[in-house]
C-alpha cells in the first residue's frame, strides 16, 4: 500500500497528520536497507543537488545513486510509501529547473550507465539512461555509427536526460530531436511497475519478447486511454501546436497521431514527470565520411539572419549563429583565442557576426560543391566566407560553439545573461523581424542580450542580462518572458524549442496552447501518476516562473566584500568569482582533458569543479553554517582538488578553482594550524640547503622500509611512495655569466628549489643548452639562500610566506628584467607561479614586469627562434612521447616543448593526451591521497607510459610528473632540457674533452666550482 501525498507547486511534501515527525530519517534508513546503490541525505549532498543549470535552487530531501533498474523501482516504491516525490536526473545540466525539486533525487549518471544491447547491422542500441552521449558515441565509432542528437553538453549529458528533455543539437536540421531516434523506453511508473513502451503497431510493444527481467508491455488501458485522448483532441492539437521544426512544449500528445508513433513518443520530453526511464532503445546513424564548414561573416545579426533561408535551401547539416558579443568574449579566453585567429577574427578585422554552416556526406566532391554553392549564394550577402575543411579546425570551431552559452556567462558582472526566453523557435523567414522586435523588447526593459545557436531551425538562444538579487530584475524576468513569448506566438513560433519547460516555461503553456490542451496534459499526468509523485510542478500544475521562493538568487551569495589574500578584482571580488559557475557541468566530462581529474577519478559531484564552486557558494551564503571557511563540507570538497589549474583553462566561464583553493586554505589556516607533515612540505625551500648537506642521512627513509612505515604512522607519508631524493651536489648558483661566448646575448636562468636540490642535472643541462646556443647564462641569485617562487607555501595556504619568497624573487629577477634580459625557468609549476599567482599577490609594476617576461625554457627557445642556433643531432631513440604538466597546459605552454623536440633530426614527437599526473606537489605522498593520486594517474598517463617501446623516451617537464611515473610505472621521464642537451652534445667528443672545455671556461669566468665541474662530468657520462 502506498501512502497518498500532497505537495505544493514546487514539489514540497506536506505529510499528512500522523506521519513520523522525521520522515526523511526513516526514508533514508529504508532506502539504505533496500537499495544496492549509495544513499546520501547529508546537508552537503542536498546542497549540491539543489541546483541545476537554471536560475533555481530547491533543496531535495536526499539523493540516491541507483545501481540497477531494480533500485529505481524500489526507490520509487519507498518514496511513495513515505509520501515523497522523486526527481530523476542525469548530469543536471537542464536550464529550466526540471532536474531539481524537494523530493528524493535519483542520479543515474553513476551506476546506470551501461550499454545493454547492440545490433550494428540493425543500427540499434539499448542503453541505460545514465550513459553520457560522448561515451556512447566513442563506443559506436569503431562500427562507423553514431547517435546524431549532438547536444552542446555531449561531454556530460546523459541519454536519459536527453530523452527527458527531448533534446536536439546543432544538426537538428538534418537529424531532428531525440523523439525521432527513440524506438522504445523501459520505464518505472509511479506505482513501481516497470513497463516497456515501444513505437510500433498500436497497442503493442516493438519488442515481442523482452529479455529484461521484470519489464513488460504497458498496461493496455493506459495505451487505449491515451489514444482516445489524442483522438478527442486531434482538432485542437492541429489548431494550436505551432508548425515549426522545433517544438518541445508540454507533452507530445500531437505525436500520437503520427504514423508508427507509440507511447514512447509521449514519454520523450516528459521531463521525468510520467515515468523513470531505466533503458532506452535508440536508432543510430552512419557517420558521414566527410564534413566541411563554411564560416560566413556578416556586419550585423539582422543581416546574418536574413541569409538563413537561402543557406538552409542548400541542405546543410547545421547553421549556427554567433553574435558579436559571444565572439568578443571568446576572443578573451585562452582556449578560443587561437581558433578566432585562424578564422581571421582578430582585432579590427573581426566581423560582427558569423554563421557557421556545415555540409556532410560520403562524397567529398559533393561536400566541396556544397561549399562552393554556399560561397556563390553568399556573394554580395555576407562579408566573406572562410572554408574549414581540416578536422582540426572544425573541431576547434565546434568546441567554440559548444561553449557558446558558457562564454556568454563569462562576464564578471552582477547582471548575467539568463536562460528563459532562449528557446523560442521562430519560422525562418520571420527571424529578422524576431531579432528586431525582440531587441526592442529587451531594450525597453533596460537590458541587453547575447544571440547565438541554431539559426537553421529558427531556435536562437537569446539571453537577456539580469541580476535576480534585484527585485526589479525579478519582475523584469517575467515581463520580458511575457512579451517575448507573445511575440513568438504572433510570429507563428513556439516558446519551447529545446531546453524543456521546467519551472521556467510550464506556466506559459496555456497562453501558447490554450486551456483545453493544458487540461489534456493534466489528464495525461494523472493517468500515469495520479498522486503527482514524479517531478511535480513541471509541465503540469507549475508555480509562477519568478516565484521568489524558488530562485537561487534568494539564497543570496551575498556579494559581501570579503577580505582576501589574493587579488580578485578581475571578477569584482571573491564571491563574484565563485558565482561565475553557472552549473553547466563542463567539468563533469569524462573524456581526456585537463579538467577535472578528481571528478574523473571518483565520478563524484563533490569532487568536481562544479561541486567545489557550489560548496563555496553554499558556504559563503551561510548555507553551511555561520563561518563560511570552517564548514567541514567545504574542506571535503576542496580536499581532493589537485590544484591542476585545468579549470582555469577549460571551464568556459573561467572558474579558477586552484586559485580559490589557495584562498580557502589561507582562510582555514587562521583556524587550523598546519600538521607537522604539511609544514614539512610547505617549508621545504627554507630547510633545503641543510637537507641536501645531510642527503645520505635524509635519503635513508627511502631505503629502510621500517622508516617509511614509521613515516606513514607518525606523519601520514605514504609508505609505498619513495620521497624525492636529495642531491648531495645541488646546483650552486653562480653570480657571474656563464657562456662560451662572452659577447653573446644574455639570459637569466631561474633555478627553482626542486630542480636545484633534487634534479640539479636538469639545470646544468639547461646551462649547457643555452650556452651552446651562444647565450650568456646568468643564474638568478640573491644574498642568502636560493630563490623560490613560494609554490609550496601557496599549496599550504601560507600566503604570507609565499609573499616573502616572491618578494625576494621579484627583487632578484627585476634586475634582469629592467635590463631587458629575459628570465627563463625549468619547472612549470614554479615558473608559472610567477605568471599566475605573483600578479594576484603583488599588483606592483615590478612584479607585473617579471610576470610578463618569465618564460619556460621551451617557450623561450621558440619565441627567440633560438632553436636554429642549436646544433642538434639524432638521439638514440625513434620517438619521444610528451606528457605536458597540467600547469603548462593551463597556460598553453605545452606546445613549445613539442616544437622544440620536433627540431631534433629523425625524431618522432607525440603528445600523450592526458591531464594531471595525479602527484600534484605533495598530494601523492600524503597517505590519505595516495590512492586517488594513483587513480588519476591511471586515467591516461600510466597506460600510455606502460605502452612505451624500447626505442621511445618519455619527456615530461614537471618534477611531480617524473616522480609519479617513476613510482607507479617504474619509468624514466626526461626534462626537455636534458633531451636537448643529449641531442646537442657534439658527437665523438669525449666526456673528458667536455670537462676540459668547462675547465677552460672556468678559467675564463671563474664561476664554476670544482663540484660543478664534476657534476657536469657525471651527467655527461650517464
Residues in the site for ligand FAD, rule: CB under 6 A? 52-53, 87-95, 98-99, 108, 129, 151-153, 157-158, 160-162, 164-165, 167-169, 271-272, 276-277, 405-406, 498-499, 535, 584
By a kind-dependent CB cut-off of 5 to 8 A, residue 983 interacts, out of ligand FAD, ligand SF4, none, with none
Number of residues engaging ligand SF4 in binding (CB under 6 A): 27
Chosen residue from 140, 655, 904, 937 binding ligand SF4 by CB under 6 A: 655
Q: Which is nearer to ligand FAD, 90 or 1020 (CB)?
A: 90
Neighbours of 303 (CB within 10 A): 17
By a kind-dependent CB cut-off of 5 to 8 A, residue 587 interacts, out of ligand FAD, ligand SF4, none, with ligand SF4
Q: What is the radius of gyration, based on Cα positions, of the chain?
A: 31
Degrees, nearest 5: CA angle 597-602-607: 70
By a kind-dependent CB cut-off of 5 to 8 A, residue 129 interacts, out of ligand FAD, ligand SF4, none, with ligand FAD
By a kind-dependent CB cut-off of 5 to 8 A, residue 168 interacts, out of ligand SF4, ligand FAD, none, with ligand FAD
Q: Interface with ligand SF4 by CB under 6 A: which range of 26-34, 316-324, 515-523, 647-655?
A: 647-655
Chosen residue from 237, 587, 616, 854 binding ligand SF4 by CB under 6 A: 587
Neighbours of 275 (CB within 10 A): 27
Residue 282 bridge partners (DSSP): 125, 182
Residue 321 CB, nearest approach to ligand FAD (Å): 13
Q: For residue 969, which phi and psi values (nearest 5 degrees)?
A: -130, 10
Q: Interface with ligand SF4 by CB under 6 A: which range of 509-517, 569-577, 624-632, 639-647?
A: 639-647
Q: For residue 226, which phi and psi values (nearest 5 degrees)?
A: -75, -35
By a kind-dependent CB cut-off of 5 to 8 A, residue 613 interacts, out of ligand FAD, ligand SF4, none, with ligand SF4
Residue 963 CB, nearest approach to ligand SF4 (Å): 18
Going by the DSSP 8-state scheme, the letter that residue 82 receives in this structure is T
Residue 719 CB, nearest approach to ligand SF4 (Å): 25
Chosen residue from 140, 382, 613, 831 binding ligand SF4 by CB under 6 A: 613
Residue 378 CB, nearest approach to ligand FAD (Å): 25
By a kind-dependent CB cut-off of 5 to 8 A, residue 456 interacts, out of ligand FAD, ligand SF4, none, with none
Query: Rule CB under 6 A: is residue 975 a binding residue for ligand SF4?
Result: no
Integer distance in angstroms from the first to the last C-alpha of the chain?
78
Query: Rule CB under 6 A: is residue 900 a binding residue for ligand SF4?
Result: no
Chosen residue from 646, 724, 790, 858 binding ligand SF4 by CB under 6 A: 646
Strands (E), 68-136: 86-89, 104-107, 115-119, 124-127
d(CA 924, CA 922): 6
Q: Which is nearer to ligand SF4, 334 or 844 (CB)?
A: 334
C-alpha distances out from residue 263 to 73, 201, 225, 246, 829, Å: 20, 11, 11, 20, 56
Among 336, 797, 412, residue whose Cα is nearest residue 581:
412
Query: Rule CB under 6 A: is residue 872 a binding residue for ligand SF4?
Result: no
By a kind-dependent CB cut-off of 5 to 8 A, residue 499 interacts, out of ligand SF4, ligand FAD, none, with ligand FAD
Q: Which is nearer to ligand SF4, 450 or 867 (CB)?
A: 450
By a kind-dependent CB cut-off of 5 to 8 A, residue 71 interacts, out of ligand FAD, ligand SF4, none, with none
Among 457, 537, 499, residue whose Cα is nearest residue 242:
457
d(CA 465, CA 832): 35
What sections of 269-422 are H helices per DSSP? Answer: 301-306, 308-312, 324-331, 334-342, 364-377, 391-402, 404-408
By a kind-dependent CB cut-off of 5 to 8 A, residue 792 interacts, out of ligand FAD, ligand SF4, none, with none
CB 184 within 8 A of CB 197: yes
Q: Interface with ligand SF4 by CB under 6 A: which range of 227-235, 330-338, 635-643, 794-802?
A: 635-643
Q: Which helix (H) or strand (E) holds 483?
A: helix 471-490
Q: Which is nearer to ligand SF4, 297 or 610 (CB)?
A: 610
Chosen residue from 30, 533, 610, 883 binding ligand SF4 by CB under 6 A: 610
Site for ligand SF4 in 589-608 (CB under 6 A): 595-598
Chosen residue from 657, 665, 977, 980 binding ligand SF4 by CB under 6 A: 657
d(CA 840, CA 817): 19
Query: Rule CB under 6 A: is residue 643 a binding residue for ligand SF4?
Result: yes
Query: Rule CB under 6 A: is residue 48 a binding residue for ligand SF4?
Result: no
Q: Which helix (H) or strand (E) holds 886?
A: helix 886-890
By a kind-dependent CB cut-off of 5 to 8 A, residue 821 interacts, out of ligand SF4, ligand FAD, none, with none
Residue 658 CB, nearest approach to ligand SF4 (Å): 4
d(CA 511, CA 334): 44
Degrees, nearest 5: CA angle 252-255-259: 165
d(CA 740, CA 19): 87
Full DSSP string of 491-534: TT-BS-SSS--HHHHGGGHHHHH-HHHHHHHHHHHHHH-TT--B
CB 681 within 8 A of CB 792: yes
Query: Rule CB under 6 A: is residue 512 a binding residue for ligand SF4?
Result: no
d(CA 377, CA 164): 39
Residue 104 bridge partners (DSSP): 62, 86
CB 131 within 8 A of CB 115: yes
Degrees, nearest 5: CA angle 817-823-825: 155
Neighbours of 428 (CB within 10 A): 22
Q: Which is nearer to ligand SF4, 91 or 179 (CB)?
A: 91
By a kind-dependent CB cut-off of 5 to 8 A, residue 52 interacts, out of ligand SF4, ligand FAD, none, with ligand FAD
Residue 767 CB, nearest approach to ligand SF4 (Å): 33
Q: Interface with ligand SF4 by CB under 6 A: which range of 129-137, 581-589, 629-637, 995-1003?
A: 581-589
Among 655, 636, 653, 624, residue whose Cα is nearest residue 598:
636
Among 587, 576, 565, 698, residue whose Cα is nearest residue 648:
587
Going by the DSSP 8-state scheme, the letter that residue 274 receives in this structure is S
Q: Which is nearer to ligand FAD, 183 or 297 (CB)?
A: 183
Query: Rule CB under 6 A: is residue 665 a binding residue for ligand SF4?
Result: no
Site for ligand SF4 in 95-114 (CB under 6 A): none
Q: Which is nearer to ligand FAD, 57 or 167 (CB)?
A: 167
Residue 722 CB, nearest approach to ligand SF4 (Å): 24
Q: Which residues contact 927 (CB under 8 A, 6 or more apart)?
A: 712, 716, 717, 718, 719
Grid cell 521531463 — which residue?
271
Residue 38 bridge partners (DSSP): 65
Residue 654 bridge partners (DSSP): none
By a kind-dependent CB cut-off of 5 to 8 A, residue 255 interacts, out of ligand FAD, ligand SF4, none, with none
By a kind-dependent CB cut-off of 5 to 8 A, residue 642 interacts, out of ligand SF4, ligand FAD, none, with ligand SF4
By a kind-dependent CB cut-off of 5 to 8 A, residue 602 interacts, out of ligand FAD, ligand SF4, none, with none
Residue 740 CB, nearest approach to ligand SF4 (Å): 42
Q: For residue 290, which phi and psi values (nearest 5 degrees)?
A: -130, 140
By a kind-dependent CB cut-off of 5 to 8 A, residue 610 interacts, out of ligand SF4, ligand FAD, none, with ligand SF4
Residue 630 CB, nearest approach to ligand FAD (Å): 32
Q: Which is nearer to ligand FAD, 107 or 223 (CB)?
A: 107
By a kind-dependent CB cut-off of 5 to 8 A, residue 165 interacts, out of ligand FAD, ligand SF4, none, with ligand FAD
Strands (E), 15-82: 38-40, 62-65
Site for ligand SF4, rule CB under 6 A: 581-587, 595-598, 609-610, 612-613, 641-647, 651, 653, 655, 657-658
Amino acid at each position: 500500500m502506498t501512502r497518498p501525498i500532497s505537495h505544493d507547486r514546487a514539489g514540497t511534501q506536506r505529510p499528512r497528520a500522523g506521519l513520523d515527525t522525521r520522515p526523511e530519517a526513516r526514508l533514508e534508513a529504508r532506502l539504505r536497507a533496500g537499495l544496492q546503490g549509495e544513499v546520501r541525505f547529508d546537508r552537503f549532498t542536498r546542497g549540491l543537488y539543489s541546483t541545476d543549470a537554471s536560475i533555481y535552487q530547491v533543496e531535495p530531501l536526499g539523493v540516491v545513486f541507483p545501481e540497477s533498474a531494480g533500485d529505481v523501482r524500489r526507490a520509487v516504491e519507498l518514496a511513495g510509501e513515505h509520501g515523497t516525490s522523486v526527481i530523476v536526473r542525469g548530469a543536471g545540466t537542464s536550464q529550466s529547473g526540471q532536474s531539481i525539486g524537494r523530493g528524493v533525487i535519483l542520479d543515474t549518471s553513476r551506476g546506470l550507465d551501461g550499454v545493454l544491447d547492440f545490433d550494428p547491422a540493425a543500427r540499434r542500441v539499448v542503453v541505460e539512461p545514465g550513459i553520457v552521449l560522448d561515451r556512447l558515441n566513442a563506443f559506436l565509432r569503431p562500427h562507423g555509427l553514431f547517435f546524431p542528437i549532438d547536444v552542446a553538453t555531449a561531454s556530460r549529458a546523459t541519454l536519459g536526460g536527453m530523452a527527458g528533455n527531448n533534446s536536439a543539437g546543432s544538426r537538428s536540421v538534418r537529424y531532428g530531436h531525440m523523439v525521432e531516434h527513440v524506438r522504445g523506453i523501459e520505464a518505472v511508473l509511479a506505482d513501481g511497475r516497470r513497463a516497456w513502451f515501444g513505437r510500433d503497431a498500436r497497442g503493442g510493444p516493438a519488442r515481442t519478447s523482452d529479455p529484461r527481467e521484470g519489464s513488460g508491455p504497458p498496461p493496455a488501458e493506459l495505451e487505449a486511454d491515451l489514444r482516445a485522448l489524442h483522438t478527442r483532441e486531434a482538432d485542437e492539437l492541429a489548431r494550436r501546436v505551432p508548425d515549426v521544426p522545433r517544438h518541445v512544449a508540454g507533452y507530445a500528445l500531437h505525436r500520437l497521431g503520427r504514423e508508427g508513433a507509440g507511447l514512447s513518443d509521449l514519454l520523450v520530453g516528459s521531463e521525468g514527470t510520467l515515468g523513470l526511464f531505466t533503458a532506452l532503445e535508440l536508432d543510430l546513424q552512419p557517420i558521414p565520411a566527410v564534413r566541411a564548414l563554411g564560416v560566413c561573416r556578416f556586419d550585423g545579426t539582422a543581416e546574418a539572419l536574413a541569409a538563413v533561408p537561402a543557406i538552409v535551401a542548400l541542405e546543410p547539416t547545421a547553421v549556427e549563429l554567433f553574435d558579436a558579443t559571444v565572439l568578443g568574449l571568446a576572443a578573451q579566453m585562452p582556449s578560443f583565442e587561437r581558433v578566432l585567429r585562424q578564422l581571421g577574427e582578430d582585432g579590427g578585422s573581426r566581423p560582427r557576426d558569423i554563421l557557421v554552416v556545415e555540409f556532410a556526406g560520403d562524397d567529398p566532391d559533393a561536400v566541396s560543391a556544397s561549399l562552393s554553392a554556399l560561397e556563390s549564394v553568399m556573394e554580395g550577402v555576407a562579408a566573406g566566407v572562410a572554408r574549414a575543411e581540416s578536422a582540426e579546425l572544425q573541431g576547434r570551431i565546434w568546441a567554440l560553439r559548444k561553449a557558446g552559452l558558457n562564454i556568454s556567462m563569462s562576464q564578471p558582472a552582477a547582471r548575467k545573461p539568463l536562460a528563459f526566453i532562449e528557446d523560442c523557435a521562430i519560422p525562418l523567414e520571420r527571424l529578422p523581424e524576431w531579432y528586431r522586435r525582440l531587441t526592442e523588447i529587451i531594450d525597453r526593459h533596460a537590458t541587453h542580450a547575447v544571440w547565438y545557436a541554431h539559426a537553421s531551425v529558427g531556435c536562437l538562444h537569446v539571453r537577456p542580462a539580469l541580476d535576480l538579487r534585484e527585485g526589479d530584475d525579478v519582475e523584469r524576468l517575467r515581463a520580458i518572458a511575457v512579451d517575448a513569448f507573445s511575440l513568438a506566438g504572433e510570429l507563428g513560433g513556439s516558446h519551447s524549442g529545446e531546453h524543456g519547460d521546467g519551472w521556467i516555461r510550464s506556466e506559459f503553456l496555456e497562453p501558447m496552447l490554450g486551456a483545453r490542451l493544458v487540461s489534456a496534459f493534466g489528464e495525461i499526468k494523472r493517468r500515469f501518476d495520479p498522486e503527482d509523485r514524479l517531478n511535480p510542478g513541471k509541465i503540469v500544475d507549475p508555480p509562477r516562473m519568478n516565484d521568489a521562493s524558488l530562485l537561487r538568487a534568494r539564497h543570496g551569495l551575498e556579494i559581501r566584500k570579503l577580505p582576501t589574500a589574493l587579488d580578485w578584482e578581475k571578477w569584482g571580488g571573491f564571491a563574484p568569482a565563485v558565482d561565475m559557475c553557472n552549473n553547466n557541468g563542463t567539468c563533469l566530462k569524462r573524456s581526456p582533458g585537463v579538467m577535472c581529474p578528481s571528478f574523473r577519478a571518483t565520478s563524484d559531484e563533490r569532487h568536481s569543479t562544479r561541486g567545489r564552486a557550489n560548496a563555496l557558494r553554499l558556504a559563503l551564503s551561510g548555507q553551511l553554517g555561520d563561518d563560511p571557511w570552517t564548514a567541514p563540507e567545504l574542506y571535503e570538497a576542496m580536499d581532493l582538488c589537485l590544484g591542476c589549474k585545468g579549470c582555469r583553462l577549460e571551464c568556459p566561464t573561467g572558474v579558477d578553482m586552484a586559485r580559490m583553493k589557495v584562498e580557502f586554505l589561507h582562510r582555514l589556516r587562521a583556524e587550523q594550524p598546519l600538521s607537522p607533515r604539511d609544514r614539512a612540505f610547505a617549508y621545504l625551500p627554507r630547510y633545503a640547503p641543510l637537507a641536501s648537506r645531510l642527503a645520505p642521512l635524509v635519503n635513508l627513509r627511502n631505503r629502510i622500509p621500517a622508516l617509511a612505515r614509521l613515516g606513514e604512522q607518525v606523519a601520514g607519508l605514504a609508505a609505498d611512495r619513495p620521497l624525492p631524493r636529495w642531491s648531495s651536489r645541488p646546483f650552486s648558483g653562480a653570480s657571474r655569466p656563464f657562456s662560451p661566448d662572452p659577447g653573446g646575448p644574455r639570459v637569466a636562468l631561474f633555478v627553482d628549489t626542486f630542480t636545484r636540490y633534487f634534479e640539479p642535472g636538469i639545470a646544468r643541462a639547461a646551462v649547457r643548452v643555452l650556452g651552446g646556443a651562444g647565450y650568456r647564462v646568468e643564474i638568478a641569485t640573491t644574498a642568502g639562500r636560493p630563490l623560490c617562487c613560494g609554490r609550496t607555501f601557496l599549496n599550504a595556504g601560507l600566503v604570507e610566506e609565499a609573499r616573502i619568497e616572491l618578494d625576494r624573487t621579484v627583487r632578484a629577477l627585476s634586475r634582469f628584467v629592467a635590463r631587458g634580459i629575459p628570465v627563463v625557468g625549468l619547472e612549470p609549476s614554479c615558473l608559472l607561479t610567477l605568471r599566475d599567482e605573483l600578479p594576484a599577490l603583488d599588483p606592483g609594476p615590478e612584479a607585473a614586469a617579471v610576470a610578463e617576461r618569465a618564460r619556460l625554457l621551451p617557450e623561450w627557445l621558440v619565441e627567440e627562434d633560438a632553436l636554429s642556433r642549436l646544433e642538434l643531432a639524432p638521439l638514440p631513440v625513434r620517438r619521444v612521447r610528451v606528457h605536458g604538466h597540467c600547469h603548462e597546459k593551463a597556460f598553453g605552454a605545452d606546445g613549445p616543448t613539442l616544437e622544440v623536440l620536433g627540431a631534433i633530426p629523425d625524431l618522432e614527437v607525440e603528445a600523450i593526451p592526458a591531464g594531471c599526473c595525479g602527484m600534484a606537489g605533495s598530494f601523492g605522498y600524503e597517505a590519505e591521497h595516495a590512492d586517488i593520486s594513483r587513480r588519476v594517474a591511471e586515467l591516461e598517463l600510466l597506460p600510455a607510459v606502460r605502452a612505451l617501446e624500447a626505442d621511445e623516451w618519455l619527456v615530461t617537464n614537471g618534477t611531480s610528473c617524473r616522480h609519479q611515473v617513476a613510482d607507479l610505472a617504474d619509468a624514466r621521464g626526461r626534462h626537455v632540457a636534458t633531451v636537448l642537451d643529449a641531442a646537442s652534445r657534439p658527437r665523438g667528443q669525449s666526456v673528458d674533452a667536455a670537462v676540459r672545455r668547462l675547465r677552460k671556461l672556468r678559467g675564463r669566468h671563474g664561476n664554476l666550482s670544482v663540484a660543478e665541474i664534476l657534476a657536469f662530468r657525471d651527467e655527461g657520462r650517464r
